[in-house]
């Protein structure tokens, strides 16, 4: 029986508590939040749990085996570090840390102490992303061409991060999971209309950004994130040589559509520009059934499984670090108006 | 009665002929295409017109007042130049020319000869774009934040240009028409999967590209063009301080939706990051009726009006030149992996 | 402080408990369900409430002022009757009763005892239906032409009722609320493919049905309900002389669209069939913002308000009876293959 | 070489002429329309054809082998009869005739004269309907449950027929083609808001109607047609035991979606209503590629093939008669407020 402590009971924390609590192999023993009204909510829903405003109490408790850190990103490092130092496995909200140096330090510490780090890239446990990964693994899509995601909506503005650190971790972690090559370089552009006005461009927090990531083999990824869109869009295109895929996460059903479509360019058999032979393939579309299980439930169970059976999670500290490096690079590129940043 | 000669009877030429022919103030007298089967098609539909494969005949004819150049872009300059030299007004397919030097030379020549150049940026005459421009003119949207367009589909591959020169002229000309500031700089990224393989990266023709254009006042425009998408998307978001707009050109009805949505950031009245006040406005949506007239019909009539009444068309050579400069810059930026190109 | 007892803690009961419990003016004191696992669920969520399997205990308790009956329809009458006899106000799940005689008896009993009956036609408290009613009240739509609803999906099969008693109460109660005339007659057709096979046509329970209701002034309502549809549809059209409205309840945003569209037939000014003048009006579309408050929350508060301030609820026993009469008539008509049933 | 005469050059006639003219095996020799402006249009497009306002001339001409009757329905009988009497094959616009007696007379006459009648049920030649029929033929859908079609839009009002005779022939001919059983009886309801006011109910022409058709094996078809809808809907659901299908004809791509969804009701293994076992199947969705060829082109070629090779067309006079009988029955039922009409 793994005993869990959860720090942070704001927007996402209650989901983390509920999912861990629903699993037979663990028990949430303590919930911590510095906000008294969050403590009150926690007590009302879970009268039998220990609820505290003091994270040190939780982090040093001998009754706790693993800690879930579900707090703002700038607090992740200190909390996770203390948890590891006290011999606890950690489950950390995305993005993993505020910078890559912090991530590296935590990874090193966990290794030394033989503890697990899992970064909560929840989307990797959704039925849609697992199916996409399966289609890539089974080479259904063929050689990949591109990954193109649009993730825009109105708000919710974050107080401590820009739109890149808020929305792009989803896309960058999925991209990292699906494209098996190592990202090589990145170009990002963006703009800031409401945040940080009057405080100089470097202090502004972008509400919209466009990130291009270069991979080997001409594979390219593009992420469009925007807090100032009148409509919500969650649309990802994944192009491959054999098949192409559209993932619309706002569809209740038919989130994933796989198209038997493509282009073949033949050899020019003549003597000029007009002799290029282009043939199009436009066949059936297929929407595979996608598992509707709650992603966080699967992820929670996987965390326990990794602890109990001493497995290395695929969404470990290294996965979190790769995403943080992309976020850092995107910030740097945006502020230098699209400068190419090598990774 | 303006007498018109049309060069090029491939995909778009027949529409140009049909629209000019439908107007009382002009007559199409000659159609020219070097392709015999295009000539045959022209003769079948318009048995009474002169059909030729010799453009010189048309360009030097004393019976012709204006020439429509509806041919591949690399031929525009020579044909338009000869037309102007022979005292004819020109209507040129977009993009105007293969480079900005050509565009400048044609503009200068037309001025000297007191002739009109009109670049066929057809989209500017659609009901949707005219309505968007009206909403901007009437300050319904308020201060603009961004212009974000996605224009993707499978093919049609062009033999002589990349996806930027094929699809982006639509977006860049609309952006130029709607955002009244002068574009300052541009960043573009892209990839090439099928074209030009084996011929070195500089010879490749991108099938997908992402262009960010910077304007004064933090206004930003982004264009996503892709020939390798399994689905067709024609979606433009235009964000303003007072209202935001979505234009889905694939909708039969309700192409334009204006949202009374926005964000207001109040002053932090306290002492820390959590005191920022964000308020959201989320009101009604309104889909104004959009005129369904054929855009090319309105544009053809406007061309005649400009000639007859000696008016300067708003989609003149300068407008064409501005788009060509953006295309040149995008090409340069893509090939240097997102290098910022000042305009 | 109104003290509430809730009978039934299956699918909908937990929502009823949660909403009443969230209101300051009342307290849920007892939950009753004959199913032990439902009792267990109730105890887990609400450790401080009295949970029982014995409805008599609840119905005769002196500690309870009002009873919510959230059980299968065939049990409504007995439970509501006993509640009224014991001096308790009743909130009854839709459909009100299994037949109109039962409904009439309950209404009479409530009147005699000066108690309130409210039938849980939840949809009447949604932002969409309240806005539709407002548009009708303000004569925005003009003289009504028709109400046309499609409510289809796969399952969920009910064990004790057919698709008419399961899905049509939603549409019939909304129709009754929006069309202010009294329904005159009804025609219904339907089919049964899976239920009741081998047990004779009268024992079959229809999985799909089509109901036409005639009103004065040629107003017509049509309801298409189906448990065997591969896709979920919740679409209502409401046609009026001045405006027409589409309500798509599956849209996250923009559930309601009001169209400035219509037809005007002029007088034939000539001498024959071809002289009829038809003119179409096709103006803007407008999607009013719809309140997103939870309907059941508003309804619960309204129930308390009616009790405390001795108001007659608009969704009272009579409203429930009108819907039950339509359901009875629909059953009769379906079984007689579309026989007209006068109401 | 079949020589064709076409009577009627209004809305649909030009398509018929264009398609026949595009086929190598025939030649359109004469176009007839009583309307001088239609004659003028015909002459402009086809300067080499004989254009006349006198149908007798065409119908008795020795130069014509087959006649296409593309005129209002009330003229079909006289024109087709005269054509057959003069030894010409006929291609008749849908609906075939104004009543079933006329249809029977034409069928008898054609048989006697060994001539072909083809009724222009164009939809049967679309890629979507041919694919649906193929899925039925290959038993992909399994035993059919129902056919449910919604075909609504604003206008276009017809002067001589109600909405049933205008829109329902599409659905009834498709239903007749796809469901291979013989329709047994029919119930129809409808309303009239603008037509025929003041002229008594029997003279009114319905603008909206709902038709239920009963087939053997509990198969049921339902057709919802409406001229007073603010939005255009073309949606057909076809439910079968093994698969279910949605045909949305307004989709540019993916018109047809086949769902691996269904319900299985097991035997009650216990002793009561709650023991019924319902299991749902909810698998993949599949959108087969649908041929985009112009339906009328395939149909025209098929007409010639039937004549040349003396084949009986499947959309012959009998098919036309079956649809006319359904239309007659629907009219009768609507006017008697849903009376069951046996077929």
Which chain B residues touch D if contact means CB-CB below 8 Å?
47, 231-232, 250, 252-253
In chain D, % of residues over pLDDT 90: 86
- 3-state class of D226 per DSSP? strand
Residue in A220, A228, A239 closest to B263 by CB: A228
More confident residue, D45 or A233: A233
Residue in chain A lying closest to C48 (CA): A47
Taking contacts as CB-CB distances below 8 angstroms, the residues of chain A near C232 are 252-253
Asked whether C91 and C67 are in contact (CB, 8 A), the reply is yes
pLDDT value at residue D273: 45
CB-based contact D237 C218, cutoff 8 Å? no
- pLDDT-based confidence at D277, cuts 50/70/90? low
Q: Distance (Å) from the C-alpha of residue B21 to the closest C-alpha of chain D?
A: 13
**Rounded-to-integer distance, Cα B146 and Cα B244, Å:** 10
Question: CB count, 10 Å around CB of C181?
Answer: 12
Q: Cβ atoms within 10 A of the Cβ of A260, count? A: 15
> Which residue of D254, D284, D289 is in closest CB contact with A283?
D289
Rounded-to-integer distance, Cα D269 and Cα A178, Å: 47
CA–CA gap between residue C100 and residue C96 (Å, rounded)? 9
Residue A160 has pLDDT above 90, yes or no: no
Instruction: Please report residues of A whose CB lies closer than 8 A to that of C47.
Output: 47
* Chain A residues within an 8 Å CB radius of B282: 154
Q: What is the pLDDT of residue D163?
A: 95
Q: Do C288 and B284 touch (CB under 8 A)?
A: yes
What SS3 state is found at D250? coil
- The structure tokens 């009244």 sit at B180
Q: What are the backbone angles phi and psi of residue C105, rounded to the nearest 5°?
A: -65, -40
d(CA C161, CA B132) in angstroms, rounded, equals 53
Show the CA angle centred on residue A150, arms to residues A145 and A151, nearest 5°. Answer: 140
| pTM for the whole structure | 0.93
Condensed to tens digits (0 to 9), the pLDDT of residues B103-161 reads 999 999 999 999 999 999 999 999 999 999 999 999 999 999 999 999 999 987 776 78
The HSE-up count of residue D115 (CA atoms within 13 Å, CB side) is: 23
Distance from CA of A9 to the nearest CA of B (A): 16
Model confidence band, residue C198 (pLDDT cutoffs 50, 70, 90):
very low
Question: Average pLDDT, stretch C7-32?
Answer: 95
The sign of the CA dihedral B177, B180, B185, B187 is: negative
pLDDT digits (tens, 9 = 90+) for D112-129: 999 999 999 999 999 999
Residues of D in contact with C142 (CB under 8 A): none
Instruction: Name the DSSP letter for residue D280.
Output: E
Confidence of residue C268 (pLDDT cuts 50, 70, 90): low
Tokens of C71: 């059980």
Q: Which residues of B touch A224 (CB under 8 A)?
A: 148, 222, 224
What local confidence, expressed as pLDDT, does residue C276 receive?
57
Residue of B43, B252, B254, B289 to mutate, testing the D interface (most D Cβ within 10 Å of its Cβ)? B252
Is the pLDDT at C197 greater than 60, yes or no? no
3-class secondary structure for chain B?
CEEEEEECCCCCHHHHHHHHHCCCCEEEEEEECCCHHHHHHHHHHCCCCEEECCHHHHHHCCCCCEEEECCCHHHHHHHHHHHHHCCCEEEEECCCCCCHHHHHHHHHHHHHHCCCEEEECHHHHCHHHHHHHHHHHCCCCCCEEEEEEEEEEECCCCCCCCHHHHHHHHHHHHHHHHCCCCCCEEEEEEECCCCCCCCCHHHCCCCEEEEEEECHHHCEEEEEEECEEEEEEEEEEEEECCCEEEEECCCCCCCEEEEEEEEEECCCCCCCHHHCCEEEEEEEEEECCCCCCCHHHHHHHHHHHHHHCCCCCCCCHHHHHHHHHHHHHHHHHHHCCCCCEEC
CB < 8 Å to B185, chain A: 337
- Tell if the CB–CB gap between D157 and C276 is shorter than 8 Å: yes
What separation in angstroms does the CA of A185 have from each of A96, A211, B189, C273? 20, 11, 12, 72
Q: Closest approach of chain D CAs to the CA of A143, in angstroms?
A: 23
Report chain C's mean pLDDT, rounded to a whole number: 93
Please give the pLDDT value at position B277: 67
Going by C-beta distance under 8 Å and a sequence separation of 6 or more, which residues neighbour residue C216?
C181, C182, C184
* A240 interaction partners in chain B (CB closer than 8 Å): none
Across the interface, do C254 and B285 touch by the CB < 8 Å criterion? yes
For the residues B253-273, what does the mean pLDDT come to?
76
CA distance B285 to chain C (A): 5
For the cut 80, the answer to whether the pLDDT of residue C76 exceeds it is yes
Task: Give the model's pLDDT for residue D272.
Answer: 46
| Residue pLDDT, tens place only, C270-303 | 444 444 567 888 899 999 999 999 999 999 999 9
Tell if the CB–CB gap between D155 and C263 is shorter than 8 Å. yes
Q: Report the mean per-residue pLDDT for chain D.
A: 93
D232–B250: do the CB atoms touch at under 8 Å?
Answer: no
Whole-angstrom CA distances from B155 to A188, A245, B166, B324, C25 are: 27, 16, 10, 22, 64
Q: Which chain B residue has the Cα nearest residue C261?
A: B289
Q: Taking CB atoms and an 8 Å cutoff, what residues of chain D touch A260?
A: 289
Task: Determine, for residues D214 and C337 on separate chains, whether the beta-carbon distance falls below 8 Å.
Answer: yes
Range B298-305 average pLDDT: 98
pLDDT tens for residues D315-338? Answer: 999 999 999 999 999 999 999 999
Q: Do A232 and C250 touch (CB under 8 A)?
A: no
Distance of CA A215 to the CA centre of its chain: 19
pLDDT at residue C267 in the model:
58
Contact A253 D285 (CB under 8 A): yes
pLDDT of residue C44: 85
State whether C282 and B288 contact (CB < 8 Å). Answer: no
Question: Are A95 and A158 in contact, with CB atoms under 8 Å apart?
Answer: no
pLDDT at C45: 85
pLDDT recorded at residue D268: 52
**Are D49 and D28 a contacting pair, CB within 8 Å?**
yes
Are C287 and B288 inside 8 Å of each other by CB? no
pLDDT tens-place string over residues A72-119: 999 999 999 999 999 999 999 999 999 999 999 999 999 999 999 999
pLDDT-derived band of residue A204, with 50, 70 and 90 as boundaries?
A: confident
Distance CA A188, CA A176 (A): 17
Which of D153, D230, D233, D252 is the best mutation test for B, with the most CBs of B within 10 A? D252
Tell me how many degrees the CA angle D206-D211-D214 measures, rounded to the nearest 5: 155
Q: CB–CB of A263 and B227 under 8 A?
A: yes
- Across the interface, whether the CB atoms of C252 and A232 are under 8 A apart is answered yes
> Among all chains, which residue has been given the structure tokens 């003041």?
D198
* C156, C239, C241: residue with CB nearest D229: C239
Whole-number Å distance between alpha carbons of A310 and B108: 75
B41: Cβ contacts below 8 Å, ≥ 6 apart: B9, B14
The tens digit of pLDDT for each residue in C119-151 reads: 999 999 999 999 999 999 999 999 999 999 999
Token representation of residue B82: 């000869």
CA-based nearest residue in chain B for residue C282: B289
d(CA A317, CA A305) in angstroms, rounded, equals 17
Give me the residue from C47, C231, C250 closest to A47, CB to CB.
C47
B196: pLDDT confidence band, cut at 50, 70 and 90? low
Mean pLDDT, rounded, for D81-95 = 98
**Whole-number pLDDT of residue D25:** 93
Chains sharing 3 or more CB pairs under 8 A with chain B: A, C, D
From A254, A282, A288, residue closest to D289, measured CB to CB? A282
Interchain pair C232, A252: CB under 8 A: yes
Inter-chain residue contact D287 with A282, CB threshold 8 Å: no
Look at chain A and count its residues.
343
In the predicted model, is pLDDT for residue C158 greater than 80?
A: no
Position A267 scores a pLDDT of 58
Nearest-angstrom CA–CA distance, D323 and D169: 7
Decide which of A187 and B281 is more confident: A187
Q: Which two tokens stand for residue A6?
A: 């959860």
| A257-309 pLDDT tens trace | 999 998 877 655 544 444 456 788 889 999 999 999 999 999 999 999 999 99
Closest CA to B151 of B130, B179, B123, B125: B123
* CB pair distance less than 8 Å for B232 and D252: yes
Q: pLDDT by residue (tens digit) across B11-62?
A: 999 999 999 999 999 999 999 999 999 999 999 888 889 999 999 999 999 9
Best of A252, A287, A289 to substitute, by most chain C Cβ atoms within 10 angstroms, is A252
Query: What residue has token string 């003597």?
Result: A271
Q: Which of A260, A283, A289 sits opposite D284 (nearest CB)?
A: A289
């Amino acid at each position: 029986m793994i005993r869990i402590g959860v720090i942070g009971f704001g927007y996402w924390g209650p989901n983390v508590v509920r999912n861990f609590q629903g699993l037979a192999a663990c028990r949430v023993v303590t919930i911590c939040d510095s906000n008294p009204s969050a403590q009150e909510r926690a007590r009302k829903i879970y009268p039998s749990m220990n609820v505290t405003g003091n994270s040190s109490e939780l982090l040093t408790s001998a009754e706790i085996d693993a800690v879930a850190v579900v707090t703002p990103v700038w607090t992740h490092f200190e909390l996770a570090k203390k948890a590891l130092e006290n011999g606890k496995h950690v489950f950390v909200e995305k993005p993993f840390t505020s910078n890559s140096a912090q991530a590296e330090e935590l990874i090193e510490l966990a290794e030394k102490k033989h503890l697990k780090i899992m970064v909560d890239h929840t989307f990797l446990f959704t039925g849609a992303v697992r199916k996409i990964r399966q289609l890539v693994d089974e080479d259904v899509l063929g050689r990949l061409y591109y990954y193109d995601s649009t993730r825009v909506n109105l708000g919710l503005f974050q107080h401590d991060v820009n739109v890149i650190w808020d929305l792009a971790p989803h896309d960058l972690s999925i991209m990292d999971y699906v494209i098996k090559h190592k990202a090589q370089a990145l170009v990002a552009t963006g703009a800031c209309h409401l945040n940080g006005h009057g405080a100089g461009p470097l202090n502004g927090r972008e509400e919209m950004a466009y990130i291009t990531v270069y991979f080997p083999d001409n594979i390219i990824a593009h992420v469009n994130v925007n807090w100032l869109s009148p409509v919500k869009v969650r649309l990802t295109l994944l192009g491959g040589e054999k098949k192409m895929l559209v993932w619309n996460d706002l569809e209740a059903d038919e989130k994933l559509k796989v198209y038997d479509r493509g282009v073949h360019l033949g050899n020019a058999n003549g003597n000029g520009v007009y002799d290029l032979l282009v043939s199009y393939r436009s066949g059936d579309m297929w929407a595979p059934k996608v598992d509707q299980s709650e992603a966080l439930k699967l992820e929670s169970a996987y965390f326990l499984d990794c602890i109990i059976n001493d497995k290395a999670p695929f969404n470990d500290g290294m996965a979190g670090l790769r995403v943080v490096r992309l976020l850092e690079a995107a910030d740097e590129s945006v502020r230098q108006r699209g400068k190419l940043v090598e990774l």
